[in-house]
Structure formats: structure tokens, C-alpha cells
Structure 1
């Protein structure tokens, strides 16, 4: 692998799509993630190399590595070549143990000593199970759900296997995201629009702690780069993160699909790592990035208002008495305690709480083909609580964005995933049309 000398990007203060790396001075967080998919046919090396080359070209975060891991705002270099032979390992395991793989990956990457290695690794277990381990703290621009969907898509490509190289080369000219200073504060006088009737929450659909269930469905939405640029510009004017906009759009789509009086649960769980500024540190808890926060939005709102976009102030005092801005799950702090001590004590041991919620079901591709996903798995140290309806987003400033809407249709109802996907597209079109009219 070679590292270009001058190609770098600097972290930004808001948004998954504007920064790939969180603060690196504090390394006491166990943020490794393992995601896997089991296919119905053996996965050859040429096929996995081909799929990874296309994935990495779409997701530049997978090409990044840290130049100065202890800096408050690190500079990043981008690999111009990646030798997949060094990051893909074929292994036979009689009993597949994802925790063992996560422990192996963490041992190498936890201290960021291997700065010339990618912050991810792939295992192919027993020929059919493809596993991706990555540092979610660093590669926050990599979405595991997107990975699994893209992987299966690319494995079904028509290729000539003997012509697939193991060394992928990339265009290293990635423009740094410019610093934007003309940010306008939110309107303090804005009042949420009244709701015609009081909505009734449906906890079976939008429960904050709902376990994922078999039969999950995924729908992909590709947002072109021109639209991303417009949305990002509108977000910066209002000092909100682009990912926060996407998740707010999801909530509106949910409102339209489940209209008043049924409504939806307005306390939607959101991982602070996706929305807080990169330099944010929790002043009241050693949990730091592992605290889950909530934002109360107008219940059953079916029209878009910028004031409703999830917004957090860097200096907000975390308190359960004021959940209009943020809410800390106080019972989670004493339960978990010091992340590093607890997680290191569990290395190599089964984590029942993690594994109990690790099965995301199966994604079936309509075209079929030799590489159809049979099972999908997810494991993360900070208890992956997955609501029955969720969204993942991945992309790079200046490029396209891929949104993945996931629904457990055994909970949400048949056909709801398509309905929510369609409404997400409509809301995004409405925002883009309004922005175009202003211009």
C-alpha cells in the first residue's frame, strides 16, 4: 500500500457525510463493529475483490487512514492503492464466533499503531459467510447496512474471474470540504404547527427498544451529487447536519404512512455519534459517545419545516428534565460503567445482550442470482438497539449519497417499507423544489 503525501481532509463539526473521523485524543471507547452476510453460494476471491473494489470506490471513507491519531482534529490520508490480498482472509471455522473476530480486529486497530493499514478487514468464513469488521468510531462514514446491500449487489455482477486484480487503484484527488462560516442560527420564535387531533403512539411499531425481527426489508434511495450539494447548502444555512435532515425526513415519511390519529412515537432513538459535533464530549458521563439521545419533534407532522430538523447545541446541558433538546438514558450509565474496562473484560466471551439483537433478518434480491443473502448479522459493543424502522446513509461531500430504509415488516405491516421509501423520496423532492424556487 502507498500513501499519498498531500491528499488529506479535515474533520467537520456536523454530519456523518461531512466527517468520517471523530475525536481521536480519547481512545477509551470500544467502537469496533462486525457485520456479516451468509450467501447461498461460495464466494471466490476474484468476486470478493471485484465487489470490494466497487464498494471502496463508492465509499471513500474506506480508503482513509489516520495520519495523526492523537490530534484533536486529525488529518487523514487516502490510500491510492489497496491490496485486497492483505485485508481479505479466508478462514474455516467449525463454530462461527463473531466476537472472536471482533477481538482479533480490535487487538490490531485499537491503538491505531498500524497507521498504514485500512481501518477495516474482511473475512470469508467457510466459503459463504462474508464478514466486515471496521472501526465505527473512525469510519463513521461506513454504514454496515449499505455495505451488505452493496456487497450482494456487486457479487452478482457479471465478471471474468481470471481478469480481476487483487490490487485496486483509485483516483486520490479528493477535494477537502471547505470551512463554512456564514451559518445562521435557528429561529427562536418558531412555533410547531398544531396537530388536528392528538396522536396516539403505537409502541409496537416505534418502540425505542424494539428488537429486530425476521423478515427485515431494505430499500435503497440514491441521491445524486447535485441534489446532495443543494441539501448540504440549505443545511449549512441553518446550522444542521445533513444526516439529521435525512432522519427528520424519515420521521415525516413515517407520519404520512401512519397518519393521525395513529401517529408515531416522537421519541425516536438516535445515536449521538451521528449527530453531535466531532469534538463533543459528554460533560456529565464517562459514556461519552455511547449515550443515546432523544429529540422531541412535532407529533404526526406530515409537512416539512426546517425548524424540526434534529438539532443539538454543543453546550446543551444533558438532563432528563429537559428532553426537548436531549435526554440521557441515565440507567445505561451505571449498567455499563467504564466502556474500556467492561468491554475488555468481555473480550472473547459471548455477549448475550449484543447477540440477542444481532440478527437483522434476510434481504432478498428480486433478480435472484447465485449470491442471494440468506442471513444478515450485526454486532457492536454498545448494544445495537434497532427500531423496526430505521435509516442508514453513507456518502462523501461532493458525491452521491446512498440512503437505505430498513423495515421489519412483520412489525410494521406488509408493504410499509415501499410506502415509507416513496414518501422519503417525495419529501426530499419537496425540499429540493423549495430550494430551487428560492434561487
Structure 2
């Protein structure tokens, strides 16, 4: 068995670009790789043959045309252009000339190279040259596998053309190690998509296991939500300082897992459909094991979805519980503050009469000096009561006036709002009447 293809040579750091310099006239983000690897698996009279050779980006147009036009005695052939590049996952590692050649000679659909293709993780396409006998599919993954596969197959010539590009050496080695280990079955056009989907599902499993289950169950036990019948009689008050942030992070991570699960579910469904369309391609044999594996993969994916949904609903319940506990604590603090205010009010009421009397009789209106033979009450004592009464009335008048002004302003706003709505309705009615009149006038002219 041949060794897996070595990764492409690491690319040097690209020079700084001006904004949007990598966008071509079709809105594609291009970051052409300097080199690619070509892998061919074919069935010749001598058996399964594996060939691999490096190809520069400048050589791809002529190379792809030569592969199509060169006659071969192979019963079936699988052609794969492998690209490992440095850059972002949403960039296309091909030049415009390479893209045009892949569309023309390998019948890779135009949708695989447009700016929105990275958002469609699972899609089918037709030959850009109008060959209705060819079938194509595209599988993508930006979050986990970080690889993209586009493939076209011709049932008449039994040739399959595929491009695979990624920024992860680990991903590429896993995919093509599995492909070379199953090279005898490469006549099936769904073999490479099957391997891609299986590796994507493995990433989902790793992603799901990477969820911080320890924090999840720790919060559940702290809140006493893990088991109602086994909860402590006097549970320790939970520390809610960092729980909202942790639960928010868990919600985000479960949403990511759910999104990846939906993508993989679509890919499994598409690959299963392809396996049903091409059931017998080699001496009438059906690859029952592959379709059984696809069925098990679909069931596992659904189970992950159920687990994620359960965790997500539990997290939402715990979030509500945390906020309910916080609200309960706030209410308890408010009750304590209210009790303290009642105590302060009671103490104030006890000392307020004495304070008033002391303030009143300490004024200069009174003369309690026993050595004084004059009046004990000043003739200006009335000024104290008049001033107090006037100031009290002014404060009450301002308070009542402010409340009345606030009510008046609210009534005025409501009045103008109703008036504007009525005018709008009347205007709409006039337009409808004018339209109806115009239509009647046209009908009258027609008659």
C-alpha cells in the first residue's frame, strides 16, 4: 500500500495587500498557492495504480487539459488536486486561470468558487459546460475540519475529478490516509465524500467532548438541579458571581456544536443519496458496508443533536434559575432595607416632636430669663408662623403644579398622536378613493 501524500511545502508570508486587493472581478477572495499535489487512483490491467506528482499553480491549466485529452486503458480513474495553503479558510487557493481550467476541463461548478460558496457547507452543482450527465457536489467545513471538497463525476467515462484544499496538515493527512487505505474502492464516486464526512463527524465528536462538562455539572450540583429527590436539606448558598458568564459561554458552545451537527447531517444525507444513485459500479457489487456505516453515522449525529438539545435546554433553565435566585436575593435585601428604614422612621418620629419644641423655644421670640421683667413673648412671634405657613403652601403648590403639568403634557402627546394617526388614515382613504375613481374612469373610457 502506498504511503499517504506528503503535505505541500509551507508558503512564505505574503506581502501586505491594500484593502480588497485579493478580490477579483467576481467578488472571490483569491490567495493562490504556489504549488499543489496531484493524486490519481486508477484501475489498469495490472491492478490498482496510484500516482502522485507535484503541480505548480501555473501548470494546472495545461495539466488538467492534458489529463482529459490523453487516452488511457484504465477502467476507472479518480483525479484529485490537493492544496495545502496558508491563509484563511474562506479564501480560494487558486488563480483565475486555474479556476477557469478546473471549470472547463474538470467540470467543477462555478458555485464552488464564488464569494458565497463558503457559507454553503453542503451543495450540489451541475457541469458549467452544460453536460447534464455529470453530477457534482461540494462539502465544506470552516469551524472544525477546515477543509473544502468539490467533486464531479461522469458515469459514462467513469472518471471522477475532485479538488480538496485546507489550511490544516492534520486534516489532509487523515483524509488521504483513509483514501489510500481504501484505494480498491475508489471507483465509487461517493468514496471521497464519505471519507470527508466521516472525518468531519470525528471532528464533531471531538468538539462535543471538548465541551466543559465539568463546569456544566458543577453548576448543576451547586444549584441543586441535578436531582430533586437527593438534594440537601440545607444546601450551601451558591456563589453566583461568575455563573452567568459561564452559562453564557456554555450556551454559545452548545450552539456551535448544534450548527456543526446540522451541517454534518446534511452532508450524510447527500452522500447517502449519492451512494443510492451509484449502487453498482464494479462487477455488480454493492457497497453495503458503506451505506450501513452512513446509516450509523446519521444515527450518531442525531444522538449528538439530542444530547446538545438536552444540554442547551438545561443551561437555559439554569440561567433562569440563577436570575431567579439573584432576584430573590435582591428582594431579600430590599426587605432588609425597608425594615431598617422603618426603624429609622420610628426613631425619627420619637425625637421629632422634641426637636421641634427645642427649635421653637430656642428662637429669640421667647424670653424665659427670670431676671427679665419684660414680656416673655416677642410681638414678632406671628412672623414665625406666617413664614412657616407660606413656605409650606408654596412647596405644596409647586409639587401639585408639577404633577398637573406632567399629566397635561402626557394628554397633549396622546392628543397629537391620535390626530396624526387619524390624518394618516384619512390620507390613505383619499388615495384609495382616488385610485378607485381612476379605475372606474378607465373602465368607462374602455366601454
TM-score bracket, shorter-length normalisation: under 0.3
Which protein, 1 or 2, shows the higher relative CO under an 8 Å CA cutoff with sep ≥ 6? Answer: 1
Mark the structure with the bigger radius of gyration: 2
* Between structures 1 and 2, the one with greater helix share: 2
TM-score after normalising by structure 1:
0.20
